Amino acid sequence: MRLEDETALITGAASGIGRATAERFADEGARVIVTDIDSNGGEAVADELADKGATAEFHELDVTDGEEFHAVVDAVAEEYGLDIVVNNAGTGHPSSRLEDTDDSIRDFVIDVNIKGVWNGCHAALPHMKEQGHGSIVNVGSLASILGLPKQAAYSLSKGAVLNLTRALAAEAGPYGVRANTVCPGFTDTSLLEQYLATEDDPEAAREAMAKEYPLKRLGNPEEIADAILFLASDEASFVSGHGLVVDGGFSTC
């Protein structure tokens, strides 16, 4: 198994890509630390993994709270060590022109998508550098490499995630720590449902969106989890500072 005896902390693991990643990591033998602001959902995921024979536990975590993030990471690292951190927790916003986007929406997106990733890296790095190894995978987006219309705040935040990862890889590499970003295209999660809910006909919008992809479909969380697993594992031992695009070929069009 690719992650046997390794400890992996995953944010936003109560649903969507985070949940699929927790399940995938557990299948590969990792001790999975499920974190989320949604305590009921997060506990349910940890319990389900444990029922299947995996080693898993839940910690409630608001990624925008740096002190709380440090406390959770410090406790996990002291108890088990810390091999992998997946900064997956993120948020979107309703489609709107930049000039029509309220400052409060912009600030919330930045807090979750940028500060949340920053906090995870900030908390994990001292432990990983001290032990001489570690893998950080940050979840970006297609918006990390393409500016999406009427998604200026989201594009701002996900572009920052990719460049932060590059800076982190350059800085932490000499200590044996790798950092990468996975950049998914539109994926069938609750975040997508929120995005589509702003359309007059959400189902028609979904079908139209799928037709824009060369594969003629949207991604699913399990496919993104597989990419995260690759970047986190020793199979990617010479991959750092990379943005792995998993978008069904959309960005080639």
Annotated catalytic sites, by residue? 154
Burial of 100 (0-12, 13-18, 19+ CB in 10 A): exposed
58's enclosing H/E stretch is strand 56-60
Burial of 29 (0-12, 13-18, 19+ CB in 10 A): middle
Alpha-carbon gap, residue 106 to 98, rounded angstroms? 10
Q: How far apart are the first and last CA of the chain?
A: 37
Alpha-carbon gap, residue 161 to 183, rounded angstroms? 10
